[in-house]
Amino acid sequence: MPQVQAQPYAFPYDGDLDPTKTAVIIIDMQIDFCGHGGYVDQMGYDVSATRAPIEPLRRVLEAARRTGCRVIYTREGHRPSLADLPKNKRWRSAQICGGSGGIGTMGPCGRVLVRGEPGWDIIPELLPLPHEDIIDKCGKGSFHATDLERILRTTGCTTLLLGGITTDVCVHTTLREANDRGFECCVITDGTGATDPGNHAAAHKMVTMQHGVFGCIASSDNILRVLDTLPTHEPGARPPTWPQRPFQLMEAYPTTDSILEAKPFPYVFSPKSLALVMVDWQNDFLNPLGFGAALGNDVSSLRKGVANARRVLDAFRSKALTIVHTLEAHARDLSDVHPAKKRRCPQIGEVIDETLGRVLVRGGKGNAIIDELEPLEGEIVIHKPGKGAFYATDLEARLRAVGATHLIITGVTTEVCVQTTVREANDRGFEVLVVSDATESYIPAFKQATLDMIVSHCVEINQ
């Protein structure tokens, strides 16, 4: 499978184009943007510029479908209530339409950029096939507030061919979002269009700067030269990305089994895809002078899990596997503390004990991992402002970067930060195992109730 001749490098960067890892993303080829009577037409622009990509994209889609590339469409649009339309976006839209009109108002193709209206839909020339996914987005980027990344990760797509409109707005925002998430991107030069020729050309040039700061660009002809050499994809031939239950052994570990006994079913893993997540083993919660104790809790109940957590930690270190430590931690100015959280926990940011410093504030002794489980150099440390380890952190990106798909979790407290992290990981497609005797709660009944919940929802626990 050859590479595509592109600028400033052959695409993809790491070898031949593989249709099973490639998605063609058709961005916002909607009547409102490239149809007569649509939003762009109402603005006074020549829609021939936004219609120019239609034929190149039609040819690319035909070849991509034949070879088995995944095809994904996006549509920009808002709820009929306009509850997802920011006020500044609505105001700007009205200005460009002469002060009245714009998004949400009635036009020749129905209400402008409103979901369900005729102008909101894909143009007839490029309609998606029934099985192809459509991403409905309320912003310019296709990743913001959508499940596009989930679809790409779950289906194993790492290489993206981007086409659509407009080059300088929605295409470029999507390109930048994809690049920041580690996807290898190529913009189809004649498969994109813009209302302003200068912006269109500049958007293409920006991609090629710094030896491809966002990826590369290629013409539809160059892409077709590669796709046309590839065999026809047989429907149903694409293997599932994630293992399907009942689980099969993925890879034998040379020194230990790769199947762990667990509830409600065995936990099967490949060591190279395994990571340990140590949740909030910090002085704030376990020190008898810390925050947890100040709330009237018996911290000795949490310390029951330390020895077992250390055993798991030592096992991961002995095999040089990925290890993540999390800390519930806030900025020194408390700018990342939601007002509601501060009202519930007024002690955050205050000093309860001089030796530990300010409660849940990054950098203090109280906000450090306990000595027994102290991170080593090279281990990942995540400072999180919430209960879950994925919210407002780069944990998912760090795990994806090392190829982790399976997580073993220890930590405190079971029903709060551990359970929230488990739920977040599960929703992101990670296979999770909670070590039942390496997680603890101030209230034993809450720990047991949480473990029961986890098992009932088919997430594994192991002792």
- pLDDT number for residue 415: 92
Supply the pLDDT for residue 255: 41
Residue whose C-alpha is closest to residue 218's, from 192, 198, 197: 192
3-state secondary structure at position 382:
strand
Q: What is the pLDDT of residue 35?
A: 95
Among 21, 137, 263, 387, the one annotated catalytic = 137
Mean per-residue pLDDT for 395-411?
95
Nearest to 193 by CA among 24, 50, 44: 50
57-62 mean pLDDT: 98
- Rounded mean pLDDT of 353-373? 95
Among 21, 28, 109, 185, the one annotated catalytic: 28
- pLDDT confidence tier of residue 238, bands split at 50, 70 and 90: low
Kindly state the average pLDDT of the residues 74-80: 97
Give me the pLDDT at residue 459, please.
Answer: 62
How confident is the model at residue 397, as a pLDDT?
Answer: 92
pLDDT of residue 458: 54
Residue 3 C-alpha from the chain's centroid? 27
pLDDT tens digits for 120-135?
999 999 999 999 999 9
- pLDDT tens digits along 275-290: 999 999 999 999 999 9
Q: How far apart are CA 203 and CA 443, in angstroms?
A: 57
* CA-only gyration radius of the chain, Å: 26
- Is residue 34 pLDDT above 70, yes or no? yes
The set of residues, in sequence order, having a beta carbon less than 8 Å from that of 318 and lying 6+ positions away, is none
For residue 431, give the 3-state DSSP assignment. strand
- Give 7's strand partners: 217
Q: Are 214 and 176 in contact (CB under 8 A)?
A: yes
Q: Where in the chain is the domain with CATH 3.40.50.850?
A: 19-227, 259-462
Q: Can you tell me which residue has the tokens 């099973």?
A: 20
Domain 259-462 CATH class label: alpha beta
- What's the confidence (pLDDT) of residue 178? 92
- How confident is the model over 139-177, as pLDDT tens digits? 999 999 999 999 998 899 999 999 999 999 999 999 999
The label of the residue with tokens 């992290």 reads: 421
Q: In this structure, what token pair is assigned to residue 178?
A: 């994809």
- pLDDT tens digits for range 98-121: 877 899 999 999 999 999 999 999
Q: Is 137 in the active site?
A: yes
Q: In angstroms, rounded to a whole number, what is the distance separating the alpha carbons of residues 141 and 158?
A: 18
Of the candidates 388, 416, 442, 443, the one whose C-alpha atom is nearest the C-alpha of residue 277 is: 388
From the candidates 170, 185, 186, 216, give the one annotated as an active-site residue: 170
Range from 210-219, 369-378, 450-459 carrying the lowest mean pLDDT = 450-459
Q: What class has domain 19-227?
A: alpha beta
- Per residue in 293-347, pLDDT (tens digit) is 999 999 999 999 999 999 999 999 999 999 999 999 999 999 999 888 888 889 9
